[in-house]
C-alpha cells in the first residue's frame, strides 16, 4: 500500500513465522535477520542509504485487532520519526489522523477477525 501524504510504502505481512519473514527480507533487501526470537509480531522499515526504496513493514503471525492496532501504533511513530516529527502534544492530531488512515487502508485487507 502507498500512503501519499508521508510518501511511504507500507507492507502488511500476515501468517508464517519470524523465520519466514527473515527469509523474505533476505530476498527483498539482502537483510539476514529482522528479529532473533520467536515473536508473534513486529514492525520495522528498510531503505537504501540514500532513502530510496523505503518500505515500512508490519508482520503479524495470527492477526487480531489488538495486535494489529499495537503494531500500527509502532508504524505511525516510525513513519513520523523518519520524517522528523516526534510525538508531543502539538503533533498528536497528525499522528492520530495517520493511524486512522492506516486502519482504513488495511481494514478491508485483514483476514476476518473475531
Q: How open is the CA angle 36-103-56, to the nearest 5 degrees? A: 40
**Could you give the number of structural domains in the chain?**
1
CA distances from residue 19 to 3, 38, 40, 57, 95 in whole angstroms, order as listed:
28, 8, 11, 15, 31
Query: What's phi and psi for 93, nearest 5 deg?
Result: -65, -40
**pLDDT tens figures, 63-112:** 888 899 999 999 999 999 989 999 889 999 999 999 999 999 988 877 67
Helix (H) or strand (E) holding 52: none
Residue span of the structural domain in which 91 resides: 2-109
- Among residues of the chain, what percentage have pLDDT more than 90? 38
Does residue 40 sit within a domain? yes
Kindly state whether residue 114 falls inside one of the protein's structural domains: no
pTM of the full predicted structure? 0.86
3-state secondary structure of 100: helix
**CB-CB contact of 63 with 106 (8 Å):** no
Strand order in the sheet with 8-14: 2-3, 8-14, 55-60, 41-46
In tens, the pLDDT along 4-52 reads 999 889 999 988 888 888 888 888 877 666 666 778 888 988 876 655 6
- 10 contacts 58 by C-beta, under 8 angstroms: yes
- Give the model's pLDDT for residue 32: 62
> Is 70 inside a domain boundary?
yes
Amino acid at each position: 500500500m502507498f500512503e501519499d501524504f508521508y510518501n511511504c510504502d507500507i507492507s502488511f505481512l500476515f501468517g508464517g513465522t519470524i523465520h519466514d519473514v527473515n527469509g523474505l527480507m533476505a530476498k527483498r533487501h539482502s537483510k539476514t535477520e529482522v528479529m532473533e526470537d520467536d515473536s508473534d509480531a513486529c514492525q520495522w522499515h528498510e531503505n537504501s542509504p540514500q532513502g530510496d526504496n523505503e518500505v515500512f513493514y508490519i508482520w503479524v503471525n495470527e492477526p487480531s485487532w489488538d495486535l494489529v492496532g499495537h503494531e500500527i501504533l509502532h508504524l505511525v511513530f516510525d513513519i513520523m520519526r523518519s520524517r522528523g516529527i516526534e510525538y508531543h502534544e502539538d503533533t498528536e492530531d497528525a499522528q492520530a489522523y495517520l493511524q486512522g488512515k492506516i486502519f482504513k487502508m488495511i481494514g478491508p485487507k485483514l483476514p476476518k477477525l473475531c
